[in-house]
């Protein structure tokens, strides 16, 4: 199954459990992702549209968190939230 999350508003956060994906921005590959990587955080936390397209390059298994669940996780696990926010800063600066 294929889902074009780039066209969606940022209401979900995705963590790759298994598999691989490529990250495209303006049609060009800018990185690759694998198990343990995550995406969707910029649109989710910055209340903006998605900034890149993530496309599976192998079959994938994902964890998907809705924004309300992500906000609850931020309160319960601030260390994880800090890591996600650091990733946002790094990705926006790149």
Tens digits of per-residue pLDDT, 13-67? 888 999 999 998 888 999 999 999 988 877 776 656 667 888 899 999 998 888 8
pLDDT at site 1: 45
Relative to beta strand 61-66, strand 28-33 is unpaired
With a cut of 60, say whether residue 2 has pLDDT above it: no
Distance of CA 57 to the CA centre of its chain: 16
CATH number attached to the domain at 5-93: 2.60.120.10
pLDDT for 12 equals 81
Q: How far apart are CA 49 and CA 10, in angstroms?
A: 6
pTM of the model: 0.71
Using the predicted structure, report yes or no on whether residue 72 has a pLDDT greater than 60.
yes
Strand partners, 64: 14
């Amino acid at each position: 199954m294929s889902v074009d999350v780039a066209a969606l508003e940022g209401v979900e956060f995705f963590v790759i459990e298994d598999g691989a994906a490529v990250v495209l921005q303006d049609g060009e590959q800018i990185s690759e992702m694998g198990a343990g990587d995550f995406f969707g955080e910029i649109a989710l936390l910055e209340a903006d549209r998605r900034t890149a397209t993530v496309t599976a390059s192998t079959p994938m298994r994902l964890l998907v968190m809705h924004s309300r669940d992500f906000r609850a996780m931020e309160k319960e696990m601030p260390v994880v939230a800090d890591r996600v926010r650091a990733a946002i800063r790094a990705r926006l600066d790149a």
